Amino acid sequence: MSWATHYIEKLKNGDTVQFRPRGNSMKGKIASGQLVTVEPVGDRKLKINDIVLCKVNGNQYLHLIKAIQGDRYQIGNNIGRINGWITQNGIFGICVNIENLLLTGS
């Protein structure tokens, strides 16, 4: 069971999920630990730069759609790494909100 399995199951059941992904692969778009809201894709037309919860080569990611070729989507992070190509069957949800971080000065 990987980090997103529970969220993917909820998305497959039509539920919206919120979680705080860890890591720096989406630096500049999502900070490590920042609260995100992910909804099932439904009838949305996916496009380049959408942030999706997906599975590529057995690994789960909350990463970007970098390119689209027909019914295939290239997935990658925000710091230059490409994960690979998948079909929409490998995409479980789309990020619809990223919590704003309010930083207070000292």
Both tokens of residue 41? 């894709």
Sequence-distant (6+) residues with CB within 8 A of 105 are none
Q: What is the DSSP letter of 30?
A: S
In this prediction, what percent of the chain has a pLDDT beyond 70?
A: 93
Per-residue pLDDT band for 50 (boundaries 50, 70, 90) equals very high
Rounded to whole angstroms, how far apart are CA atoms 99 and 82? 25
Is 42 inside any structural domain? Answer: yes
pTM for the full predicted model: 0.92
Domain that holds residue 9: 5-98
Is residue 30 situated within a structural domain?
A: yes
Q: Is residue 106 part of a domain?
A: no
CA-CA distance, 22 to 35, in Å (whole number)?
Answer: 10
Q: What is the pLDDT of residue 63?
A: 98
Any idea what the CATH number is for the domain that residue 68 is in? 2.10.109.10
